[in-house]
Amino acid sequence: MRAGRQKMNPKVSVGVVYVTAMFMAIMDVTIVNVALPTLGRDFHVRATAVDAVVVSFLVSLAVFIPASGWVADRFGDKRVLLTAITAFTGASALCGLAQSLPELVAFRILQGVGGGMLTPVGMSMLYRTYAPHERIRASRILIVPTAFAPALGPVIGGLFVTELSWRWVFYVNVPIGCFAVAFGAVFLEEHRSGEVWSFDWVGFLLAGAGFASLMYCMSEGPSLGWTSPKAIGTGAVGVVLLVVLVLVELRVRRPMLNLRLMKDRLFRTTNIVMFLGLAGFLGSLYLVALFYQYGLGHTALASGLATFPEAIGVMAGSQVCTRLYPRLGPRRIMAAGLTAVAVILACMSRVGAGPDTLWIMRGLIFCLGYSMSHVFVPGGAAAFASISQSETANASAIFNSGRQLGGAAGVAVLTTVVAAVGPFHLVDHAVAPQLAAYHVAFLTAAGIALAAAAVALTIRDSDAAPSMRRIVQVEDADVTLPSALT
């Protein structure tokens, strides 16, 4: 085993474990959504009650992501990553064995603990392994789980629910997680910060409660109604706690979340762009699923298959973007990609019900993924270009917190727009889908993407120069990343 570990290039070992673990974690979100109606029937609960399966996981993620940087520096990133994967995998098995909704919700909270640590710690390891000028390659590695996992989730989930049981949407994580843990235990190298400081309990409580309150508000606001006491209360509490968090953390010498990193112009701007970009993109993918199923009357499986071209588009675009980045830099690529996203979403707002609708949407969704790759790849490389090795774990926690909130905000905003316009109306005294609701929501998503493009234009390529140097020396064949990861 020792010899195997010595021969394995850290870039390969970190890439394999991170891609495998992230694929499992990201797919889990979309694959579970497909099973929610079946869960409600099996547990004999209302459809609104089943939302707790999703909300509990998202809230748990929001609580533990901010603490991931300190935990990784204190206990070592390898140990924390493998523990997080183990917790996520074990909780997945328990979810599949759950006999009641309260049991399932409890196990989903445990899944969120593992997922909250897994994502930022894995990303920190990846960026710590790659030098700044190689991080465009690392960003291309991130594309694999980011592109395919959300697209495969509905397809696999539909097959499991239809042909096997809803329990398999959780069991599927077990072999994936076991492989990641076994591989990582043998080949990953441990890294730990040289300096250890006390845990910032005040920051942890403020960040956990603040992010959790906002995540709950954004997840439940569209269904509860934004004027409901729960939505107003949790939203207000979340905002107040996060404002207090900023004030407290800026005064602490060793904060849990080093918000001083936001003084870095490139890191701050890239985080804003990614927040808005993911709000528009992930919100629109959720909207497309609603459009297919409720607007056009297709099944969940058909909807998932029709959405899959997004993943192909992202993968194709990432190959082009990787070659453009050293020459053009993040500013023009991200602004152009987001502008294209806005145009494509505006085109979706013109699609109605007809014989060619699915093919038109498949083409637009492919283009959407292709364009969004020009945000994912340069955004991931540029965000950490000026971040020191010692602050990578903390920066990753901030970066991933923003991504989670951005995706939740996009879904909340677009769902609210659909509800406000009304997804159904009366036609000849019969209830029929009102496609105008989805069209207005697509236009709203286009507006969010344009706002992100405007912010991207403020990025200075000179700040990202360390990540734009070309790699002129190819590593030896026995230590290069396999083709699937380069």
What's the pLDDT score for residue 327?
84
What's the pLDDT score for residue 427?
62
Q: Which residue has the higher pLDDT, 292 or 485?
A: 292
DSSP string, 231-281: HHHHHHHHHHHHHHHHHHHTT-SS-SS-GGGGGSHHHHHHHHHHHHHHHHH
Token reading at 475: 């590593």
Residue of 304, 359, 348 lying closest to 442 (CA atoms): 348
Who's near 145: CB < 8 A, 6+ residues apart? Answer: 19, 22, 23, 25, 26, 27
For residue 49, pLDDT over 70 is answered with no
Give me the CATH code for the 261-470 domain, please. 1.20.1250.20
pLDDT in tens, 415-458: 888 888 876 665 666 667 778 888 899 999 999 999 999 999 99
**Binning pLDDT at 50, 70 and 90, where does residue 474 land?**
very low
Side-chain-side CA neighbours of residue 262 (13 Å): 12
Burial grade of 430 (CB within 10 A; 0-12, 13-18, 19 or more) = exposed
What's the pLDDT score for residue 481?
34
Give start-end residues of each CATH 1.20.1250.20 domain in the chain: 1-190, 261-470
Alpha-carbon span 134 to 466, nearest angstrom: 9
Strand partners, 433: 424
pLDDT in tens, 369-419: 899 988 888 887 788 777 777 777 778 778 877 887 888 788 888 888 888
User: Whole-model pTM?
Assistant: 0.79
What's the pLDDT score for residue 476?
37
- Mean pLDDT computed over every residue of the chain: 79
**Binning pLDDT at 50, 70 and 90, where does residue 336 land?**
very high
**Binning pLDDT at 50, 70 and 90, where does residue 321 land?**
confident
- Calculate mean pLDDT across residues 101-117: 85
pLDDT in tens, 249-270: 888 777 777 788 888 888 889 9
In the block, tokens 């109606």 appear at 37
What's the pLDDT score for residue 453?
94
Give me the CATH code for the 1-190 domain, please. 1.20.1250.20
For residue 477, pLDDT over 70 is answered with no
Helix boundaries (H) for 308-464: 309-348, 357-383, 392-421, 435-456
For residue 47, pLDDT over 60 is answered with no
